[in-house]
A = this chain, B = another copy of it.
Amino acid sequence: MQVSEHRRGPIRSEAARVAILDATARLFETRGYDHLTMEGIAAEAHVGKQTIYRWWPSKGALVADCLLEGRLLVGGYTPADSGDLRADLATWLHVMLTFVERQGGDSLVLSLIAAATDHSDVGARLAEGLGANSLLRARLESGVAAGQLSPERPLEELAEAFVGVALVRALGRTSSSAAEARRIVDAVLGGAAPSAPATP
């Protein structure tokens, strides 16, 4: 009786796996999702196409794995904590919207949305990658602790709303000023915002 659970022959090459995911992330960031091709990835990774198809069914699955291993959206963007929740959220949103609409062509976020439409795992991880479950949520919790936000509001869903607005603006290529970002924050959190008269 054999000890190994593996039947026979060579095991999966970790070098190939890493090279493929690296190539995917690199090409995804530089060329965008719709210009990403299996043949391009194979060439970039110096790997046979069959090696890719043996382990991943589609380019969407590749992108999903990259997202899962943190090769995309590295680090994320941590919202500041100045003590003023609305101002911090407005800054976060403004940075996010600016990041979203950079360049004329494919922004990274737009490419991720495209990837999400044909692979559900990308979509599932997209909101989190943009901070819905971690960075942004942490700032919201801090706001609750500071009494600037009702503890009754579900933070998960609130964070989703902010990410959602960013996605809508990304899809509409709507350019958004800092004042616009502030207005969004006030719209979602509620009208108690006498300090900043928005003039876009």
> Which residues of A does B touch, CB under 8 Å?
33-34, 110-111, 113-114, 116-118, 120, 122-124, 126-127, 132, 150-158, 160-174, 183-184, 186-188, 190-193
Contact = CB atoms under 8 A, between A and B. Distances in A.
Nearest to A193: B152
Contact of A165 (B150, B164, B186, B193): B164
Contact of A157 (B151, B155, B187): B187
Contacts of A183: 154, 157
Contact of A152 (B114, B117, B166, B191): B191
Number of copies: 2
A64 to B, nearest CB: 12
A86 to B, nearest CB: 13
Contacts of A162: 161
Given A117-B110, A127-B168, A193-B152, A188 B161 contact: yes
A113 B168 CA distance: 10
Given A110-B117, A127-B172, A191-B152, A184 B165 contact: no
Give the most central of A120, A153, A174, A183: most B CB within 10 Å: A153
A171 B116 contact: yes
A154 to B, nearest CB: 4
